[in-house]
Amino acid sequence: MERYIEANKNRLVGLLKEFVSIATVNPPGDNYVRMVSVLEKHCRRIGLKTKRVIVPKHELKKYGVSQGEERVNLIARWDTGAKKTLHINGHYDVVPATSNWLTDPFKPLIKNNRVYGRGTEDMKANIASYLMAIEALKAKEIVPKCNIELSFTPDEETGGKTGFAYLVNKGKVKCDYAIGEGYHGNFTSYGNKGIIWFKIEVLGKSCHSSEPHKGINAFEKMILIASELVKLKGKISKRKTLYSTKKSIDRHPTMVMGGELYGGNKTNIVPDKAVFSVDRRVLPEENMADAKKEILSVINRLKKKDKDLRVKVHIDSSERPAVCGRKNALVDLFSKSIKKVIGKRGKSALLAGATDMRFLIRKGVPSIGYSVDGGNTCHCDNEYIKIKSLVDTTKVFADVIANIA
């Protein structure tokens, strides 16, 4: 099985390059139908039965999705006649490329044993690995002791509600174990922190800047709020999870302000609006309601002191932590397979970011995240994966699928 994957390394890289060349940019949601058609072709080529699931328009409207192509999910299945099912998920959408790329992000380039291109690491390399792992099993006539079900889904980069979450919530995915996006190398992930996204809108009163006393400067009011939230950030950063993490710094909750920042219209006008975002990552031991209340309390305290302070707080997203824990058969199996393939003891940790696996974890399904190693995350420029990691990760997936029971 490992020899088969090694012998077909170039074709594995070719699969990845084919997928990356399809610019499935989200937002808005481009080339989804084309991507699913290509994936379906490869699934059928290796003997998998496929089914497309299209998210209805009323669901898209519910989550504010109005642009791009229809949201197409592809489910592929290998029915081995087993009682249990292993589900494997990969999202095919990618974030937009910035102007700082040194190469065309959708014309994959091989250099120094790396494949460069948007979506290589997140997460089209995984999708190529899944397909090659199953091809290797079939070529060697190895039949898993679980049914194998794969899903290729859109919109993970915008929250997953109109992609994988739809499949899970509508009962299109029913499984006993699951594999998805996560850590790499000798680390797997077994859950993630929670997320709360705030949009804080500070309202003022505009006037000409030659007579600023006639107005209320929303920008200056915003600075006051942000300064107090920086103090709160220092307070919460002292908290620590008891769950294992890949890096010690990941054991703490985080708060990032200003990811989105806008307001004002002209240099010589006192701004009547200033808006900034807050990204709060919540530990499994923290309470989501308390995390929201902490930020709102800061704003309410300032409002009592300043009669001119007017603030609107919008919560754009709220996702509680999702952890399946380290004590399950899938964690142990990955640990053994990683040791076998790359020679290092497999470890598991809480993921700092969130993945679509959270939707199954909340259903009580043991779900493990594991990915091909790259140098830059998808939200950086010049994203790439290492070809050796692509091959090794494929071997790990094949070994896990062959031995899951």
Segment 340-369, tens digit of pLDDT: 999 999 999 999 888 999 999 999 999 999
107 shares a domain with 208: no
d(CA 82, CA 354): 31
Residue where a domain stops, chosen among 304, 319, 334: 319
Residues 238 and 277 in one domain: yes
Residues 177 and 328: their CA atoms lie apart, in Å, by 10
Asked whether the predicted pLDDT for residue 325 surpasses 90, the reply is: no
Give the confidence band of 6 by pLDDT, cuts at 50, 70, 90.
Answer: very high
Across 200-224, average pLDDT = 98
The pLDDT of residue 375: 64
104 & 238 share domain:
no
**Which of 306, 353, 316 is closest to 200 using CA atoms?**
316
Structural domain ending residue among the three candidates 260, 295, 319? 319
Please state the pTM of the whole predicted model.
0.92
95 & 179 share domain: yes
Is the same domain home to 51 and 172? yes
Where a domain ends, among 319, 336, 354? 319
Distance in angstroms between the alpha carbons of the first and the last residue of the chain: 18
| Same domain assignment for residues 201 and 151 | no
pLDDT at 321: 96
Same structural domain for residues 349 and 365? Answer: yes
Number of domains in the chain: 2
Q: What's the mean pLDDT in 174-196?
A: 95
What is the structure's pLDDT at 376?
Answer: 56
pLDDT tens-digit map of 231-287: 999 999 999 999 999 999 999 999 999 999 999 999 999 999 999 999 999 999 999
Domain that holds residue 390: 2-192+321-403
Distances (CA, A) of 242 to 290, 364, 382: 19, 20, 35
